[in-house]
Amino acid sequence: MIQVDNLSKAFNNVTVLHDISVTFEKGKTNLIIGRSGSGKTVFMKCLVGLHEVNAGNILYDNRNFVKMDFRERKQIRREIGMLFQGSALFDSLTVEENVMFPLNMFSAMSPAEKRARVNTCLNRVNLADVNKLYPGELSGGMKKRVAIARAIVENPRYLFCDEPNSGLDPMTSLVIDDLISEITHEYDITTVINTHDMNSVMEIGEKVIFIHEGNKEWEGTREEILDTGNKNLDDFVFASNLAKKIKSLSR
């Protein structure tokens, strides 16, 4: 579980995140939704320490990340898997080398153990026989799966995904969403996903947090999201034709 208390973040006196408090639950897909520019990426970067916060606390299973020194944070970072916008694979490394990269950096495994772990993770994301290929030889969906394999290679307790579906077609997006959701449940990970995709909300939104102009305006489940009475959230939700259809069908 990750508990965020009263987090604020400003750049040059411009406040981008206002006093956000939220709990991300273990073994669940926690979605942060909001329009482009609402603060999702900045929030996620604060959570993992890529930005320093101006105020607030971030508790990783009761360990306060904000108060930690460099060494203590390093321990938490080892428990974090990250899937950032784009796949951020190394183009000059093979698939296998990409997935192995965190193990080479951080683990004391033998080469054989590393190879076995890489193969386990590639199998888990349903990729076989691509070990020696380069990212440039893969489709967008396959690249994403390699990035997921890399994110889970160190058995993370926490998984952060920033717009995992960006650049993917709807069918492939569904496959990636389902994969992230399955992995979350299977390994009991606290997963946080930034998205502006209502399809993802309906597919895997177990807990949903809505951010508007840097304020948390709503939280709930996907079942509750169509009737919140929040104007900004309605504008976001019903910008998608799919949600309109679902709502009209349920009436």
Residue 240 vs residues 186, 197, 198, 226: alpha-carbon distances, Å: 31, 9, 7, 12
Q: Which is nearer to Mg ion, 20 or 95 (CB)?
A: 20
The residues of the shown chain that bind ligand ADP, judged by CB under 6 A, are 11, 16, 34, 36-42
Distance CA 140, CA 167 (A): 8
Task: Find the angle CA(155)-CA(162)-CA(10) to the nearest 5 degrees.
Answer: 115
Among 29, 30, 38, 41, binds Mg ion (CB under 5 A): 41
Nearest approach in angstroms of CB 204 to ligand ADP is 19
* Partner from ligand ADP, Mg ion, none binding residue 106, C-beta < 5-8 Å depending on class: none
Q: Which is nearer to ligand ADP, 84 or 122 (CB)?
A: 84
Strand pairing class (207-212; 215-220):
antiparallel
Using CA atoms of 214, 159, 61, 207 in order, give the dihedral in degrees to the nearest 10: 60
Buried b (16+ CB within 10 A) or exposed e, 219-248: bbebeebbebebebbeebbeebeebeeeee
* Partner from Mg ion, ligand ADP, none binding residue 38, C-beta < 5-8 Å depending on class: ligand ADP
Q: Which stretch binds Mg ion (CB under 5 A): 33-41, 45-53, 87-95, 97-105?
A: 33-41
Nearest approach in angstroms of CB 159 to Mg ion is 17
* Partner from Mg ion, ligand ADP, none binding residue 90, C-beta < 5-8 Å depending on class: none
Q: Which is nearer to Mg ion, 124 or 212 (CB)?
A: 212
* Partner from ligand ADP, Mg ion, none binding residue 16, C-beta < 5-8 Å depending on class: ligand ADP
Nearest approach in angstroms of CB 194 to Mg ion is 6
Nearest approach in angstroms of CB 9 to ligand ADP is 8
Strand pairing class (207-212; 29-33):
parallel
Q: Which is nearer to Mg ion, 41 or 191 (CB)?
A: 41
Nearest approach in angstroms of CB 42 to ligand ADP is 4
* Partner from ligand ADP, Mg ion, none binding residue 241, C-beta < 5-8 Å depending on class: none
* Partner from ligand ADP, Mg ion, none binding residue 195, C-beta < 5-8 Å depending on class: none
* Partner from Mg ion, ligand ADP, none binding residue 39, C-beta < 5-8 Å depending on class: ligand ADP
Say which DSSP state 69 is in: -
Buried b (16+ CB within 10 A) or exposed e, 162-173: bbbbbebeeebb
**Cβ neighbourhood burial of 86 (10 Å; 0-12, 13-18, 19+):** middle
Residue in 129, 78, 133 with CA at minimum distance from that of residue 107: 78
Question: Where along the sequence are the contacts to Mg ion (CB under 5 A)?
Answer: 40-41
